[in-house]
Structure 1
Amino acid sequence: MYAFPDWRAAPAENVPAALADWLCETGSLTERLIASGRLFAVEVLAQGVEPAWPDEAAALGLAAGAPALAREVRLTLDGVPFVYARSLCRADSPAWAGVLARGSRSLGLTLFGEPGIARHPLNFCAGLAAQSALLARARAALPGAGDWLHARRSLFGQPDDALLVHEVFHPLLAEVTPS
């Protein structure tokens, strides 16, 4: 059985500095990936209603296991996956259902391109993929990522109708720099 991540206000102490730079990016991750000069793409892995995990439900103010609309994607550069993202909101969200139903278009361009969308502080976790449902899904989506992964998440929008965005980073993202 998987545990659920212990989210913290700061990245783990063992995160390499170059990867910490990506983890702590407060602007649009999409824009930063595009700035690498490589071909950026979003691959949709799954989308639909599913029970929110306990930590997700708590972050969204839902009962554990409540239905949530979830979207899982991986962000690629030149066809190589570097980021696994899981975004979710209440299943009946009037604000976010349409945003999540965007196919292979990036959420980042909407979240950082629309005025009035508030981003709450980043939270971080790190751990073994075998011990966390989120990290296990990320490891499956990020070939060669290894067993120890670093992730972040944040809420967007209003506390009573928020979008929760998780991003798990392939360790090799540390070698990618904007051009």
Structure 2
Amino acid sequence: MYAFPDWRAAPADDVPAALADWLGETGSLTERLVGLGRGFAVVVLAQHTAQAWPDECQALGLPANATVQLREVALTLDGVPYVFARSLCRQDSPVWTPVLARGSRSLGLTLFADSGMLRHPLQFITGQPAQLALLAQAQQACWPDLSGPLAARRSLFGAVNDALLVHEVFHPDLVTVSPP
């Protein structure tokens, strides 16, 4: 059975401050990661049409079980994945389908290049991968040996009737590679 994540307006109180800072980043996550001076890369894990999860359909204003364009990637530093990203849009979106079909180029470079891009407020979850599909997907794809909770955020970009939904799950060790 699918459990709806309890998306919140702020990171949970038990998220370490350094990780909450990453979660709350309102600028380009790509630019911030590149700014660390480590070997940044985008590794495509999946890119295809898929059935959206119930909360994704709700966020995008789609009917239950809608088919969407989906792209999942790992954002890596020196070959180590620190962020799992899951981005999706309507299957027939004339705006976002070509944006998702970008291979290993970062979405952030496109999303934040347009100063007029509408970004809806960030939402946050924290939990055990065994409890939430997004966190389980991230753990399976990037960190199969990781135990413990994961923190994630999501945001809609663009118009409500044709938006791109971007989820990002953060490895807790990201704070060890970033300056204080």
Q: Normalized against structure 1, the TM-score is what? A: 0.96
Please name the residue that 1:159 is paired with: 160
Is 1:37 aligned to 2:37, yes or no?
yes
Please name the residue that 1:13 is paired with: 13
1:20-68 CA distance string (max 9 Å, x none): 0100000000000000000100000001111111100000000111111
What is the identity, as a one-letter code, of the residue corresponding to 1:59?
A
CA distance in 2, matches of 1:85, 1:18: 20
Aligned CA-pair RMSD: 1.3
CA distance in 2, matches of 1:53, 1:112: 26
Q: Name stretches of at least 5 consecutive residues in structure 2 with no aligned partner.
A: none
CA distance in 1, matches of 2:134, 2:54: 12
Please name the residue that 2:117 is paired with: 117
Give the aligned length. Answer: 179
Answer yes or no: is the 8 Å Cα contact 1:18–1:175 preserved in 2: no
Answer yes or no: is the 8 Å Cα contact 1:142–1:170 preserved in 2: no
Is 1:147 aligned to 2:148, yes or no?
yes
Q: Once the 2 structures are TM-superposed, how far is the Cα of residue 149 of structure 1 from its aligned partner? A: 0.4
Q: Once the 2 structures are TM-superposed, how far is the Cα of residue 178 of structure 1 from its aligned partner? A: 5.2
Is 1:127 aligned to 2:127, yes or no?
yes
Q: After the TM superposition, which of the residue ranges 46-55 and 74-83 deviates more from structure 2?
A: 46-55
Secondary structure of 2:173's counterpart equals helix
Secondary structure of 1:26's counterpart equals coil
Is 1:83 aligned to 2:83, yes or no?
yes
CA distance in 1, matches of 2:26, 2:7: 17
Please name the residue that 2:176 is paired with: 175
Q: Normalized against structure 2, the TM-score is what? A: 0.96
CA distance in 2, matches of 1:4, 1:70: 19
CA distance in 2, matches of 1:70, 1:141: 15
Q: Once the 2 structures are TM-superposed, how far is the Cα of residue 2 of structure 1 from its aligned partner? A: 3.9
Please name the residue that 2:65 is paired with: 65
Please name the residue that 1:24 is paired with: 24
Q: Once the 2 structures are TM-superposed, how far is the Cα of residue 4 of structure 1 from its aligned partner? A: 2.7
Secondary structure of 2:55's counterpart equals helix
CA distance in 1, matches of 2:146, 2:26: 23
Secondary structure of 1:154's counterpart equals strand
1:77-115 CA distance string (max 9 Å, x none): 000000000000000001000000000000000000123
What is the identity, as a one-letter code, of the residue corresponding to 2:77?
L
The percentage of counterpart residues that share the same residue type is 68
Q: Name stretches of at least 5 consecutive residues in structure 1 with no aligned partner.
A: none
Secondary structure of 1:121's counterpart equals coil
Answer yes or no: is the 8 Å Cα contact 1:7–1:123 preserved in 2: yes
